[in-house]
Amino acid sequence: MAVDKSCEGKVTTLECMECGYREVFTERQFKFTDGLGCNRCEGPVQPVITRSGEEVNNRRMKQKKISAGTLIITADVSDTIKGLKAVQREAKKTTASLKELEEQQKKHNTDVIIKTLSNLHNIPEEEIRKSDMKVVINKKDGDK
């Protein structure tokens, strides 16, 4: 059996001696109520018998928020969606152009490398283009 007794369901009621306001605390909440005065008039309070059916209601509970009403917002975003789709199309075109530019740069860089190797090692450009550049260079350097 558990050593700690359950405090579930046990309640204590404090009643103001001046205005009669009643606060109902659970046993766990009541442990922290030393020195409390009335929540309404700050008068002295005393423990009283809790009435049957009296619900827990005190300052330690979260206050229920009262709604001020409902706000409905309607916005027409069809033009915005059309604009976003246009931006998407342009982004796709730009990406395609960048890929094409990258391919052209690779081809240009390859041409520059082939010309440089051809001039340095006296290898015909056609031979370098037909085979792997590493193999051609190593083959020529090994022959010397």
**pLDDT tens string 49-89:** 777 776 666 666 655 556 677 888 898 888 899 999 999 99
Q: What is the per-residue pLDDT for 3? A: 47
**8 A C-beta contact, residue 19 and residue 39:** no
Count of other CB atoms within 10 angstroms of residue 22: 17
Q: Which residues pair with 37 in a beta bridge?
A: 44
The model's pLDDT over 79-93, given as tens digits with 9 standing for 90+, comes to 899 999 999 999 999
pLDDT over 90 at 9, yes or no: no
Instruction: Output DSSP code: residue 48.
Output: E
pLDDT above 70: residue 143: no
Residue whose pair of structure tokens reads 């001696």 in the numeric block: 17
State yes or no: pLDDT of 2 exceeds 70.
no
DSSP H/E element including 47? strand 45-48
Please tell me the pTM assigned to this model.
Answer: 0.34
Q: Per-residue pLDDT tens for 84-134?
A: 999 999 999 999 999 999 998 888 888 888 888 788 878 788 887 777 655
Q: What pLDDT, on the 0 to 100 scale, is given for residue 90?
A: 95
* Spatial contact of 29 and 60, defined as CB atoms under 8 Å apart: yes
